């Protein structure tokens, strides 16, 4: 039988279920949400050779994991039969999964060298500028007495096993970093580095998961304290999409750099005071060919549309 988590109630009659009753319509909406999220995920899995059987096994484990949380939250007794009924997973699989280790959290994965370097470059006060952006770095300091930390210092902070110059040459070739006219090393396109494609997808998945969790918690309680904003549009022209991308690139970078600096300072205070909370912020600007996803929503004239787009928290 599934191991009962600490604090779980034993008597199913003690507390009535608190979740809203499901209907055919809510189930259909739930499946639509799953479809939207699964398409890019399965595209990645197909490319990486992950078969359906492996995904089905993972889905069973996550179903059981989340069903345990729901039963516990509702004060209901957690049994193999209850979990099987709630999830549709066969009871023998429920029993087997209950004896195995839980799904490993993504935070425990090992960071790549590139990810560790970029995290330090963007999140350590020694390597960011006054706006919070990754600072252009001198390649090295022969006297080791430079006024500011160098690219060599950055690499040696992360690893002593790779020569900074060899790493710089490789990353320059891949476009992960670049050297400006003053000879300073600048942040380029890190996801172009060898082996970094999946790391970039992992970071995007983490942000997407955090957004869905924030939306879920806001639905469950009014004081969740999370903030979600979105703007959508359809039937746009190429030139308008290019202009929108430009706005996000300009203002999004400025805001992200400022927020990054605040988070960096907050992390330093948290380490000294024993902080335990994790924070995330994500921003994307995306366009694709296709029908508008605002079908059924009221059409607005230009003046009203501008005001509606600005004030569209979700």
Q: What is the pLDDT of residue 264?
A: 86
Alpha helices in the chain (DSSP H): 24-47, 52-73, 80-87, 91-98, 113-123, 151-158, 164-174, 197-220, 238-247, 253-273, 302-310
Q: What is the pLDDT of residue 108?
A: 44
Q: What is the pLDDT of residue 6?
A: 41
Q: pLDDT tens-digit profile of 17-36?
A: 445 567 889 999 999 999 99
Q: What is the pLDDT of residue 145?
A: 54
Q: What is the pLDDT of residue 240?
A: 97
Q: What is the pLDDT of residue 102?
A: 77
Q: What is the pLDDT of residue 104?
A: 65
Residue stretches of the chain with pLDDT short of 70 = 1-21, 104-111, 141-146, 192-197, 291-314
Q: What is the pLDDT of residue 192?
A: 65
The span from the CA of 125 to the CA of 130, in Å, is 9
Q: What is the pLDDT of residue 251?
A: 93
């Amino acid at each position: 039988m599934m191991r009962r988590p600490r604090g779980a109630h034993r008597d199913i009659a003690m507390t009535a279920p608190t979740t809203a009753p499901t209907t055919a319509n809510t189930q259909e909406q739930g499946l639509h949400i799953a479809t939207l999220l699964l398409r890019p995920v399965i595209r990645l899995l197909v490319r990486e050779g992950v078969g359906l059987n492996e995904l089905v096994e993972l889905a069973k484990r996550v179903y059981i994991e989340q069903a345990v949380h729901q039963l516990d939250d509702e004060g209901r007794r957690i049994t193999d039969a209850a979990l099987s009924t709630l999830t549709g997973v066969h009871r023998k699989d429920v029993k087997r999964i209950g004896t195995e280790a839980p799904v490993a959290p993504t935070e425990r994965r090992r960071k790549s060298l590139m990810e560790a370097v970029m995290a330090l470059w963007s999140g350590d006060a020694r390597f960011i500028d006054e706006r919070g952006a990754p600072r252009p770095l001198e390649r090295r300091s022969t006297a080791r007495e430079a006024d500011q930390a160098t690219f060599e210092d950055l690499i040696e902070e992360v690893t002593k096993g790779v020569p900074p110059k060899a790493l710089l040459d490789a990353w320059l070739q891949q476009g992960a970093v670049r050297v400006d006219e003053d000879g300073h090393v600048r942040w380029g396109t890190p996801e172009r580095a060898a082996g970094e494609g999946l790391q970039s997808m992992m970071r995007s998945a983490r942000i997407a998961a955090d957004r869905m969790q924030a939306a879920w918690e806001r639905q469950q309680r009014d004081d969740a304290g999370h903030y979600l904003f979105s703007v959508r549009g359809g039937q746009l022209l190429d030139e308008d999409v290019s202009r929108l991308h430009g706005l996000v690139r300009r203002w999004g970078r400025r805001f992200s750099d400022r927020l990054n600096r605040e988070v960096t300072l907050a992390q330093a205070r948290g380490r000294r005071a024993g902080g335990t909370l994790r924070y995330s912020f994500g921003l994307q600007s995306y366009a694709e060919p296709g029908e508008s996803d605002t079908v059924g929503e009221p059409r607005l004239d230009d003046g009203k549309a501008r005001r509606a787009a600005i004030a569209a928290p979700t």
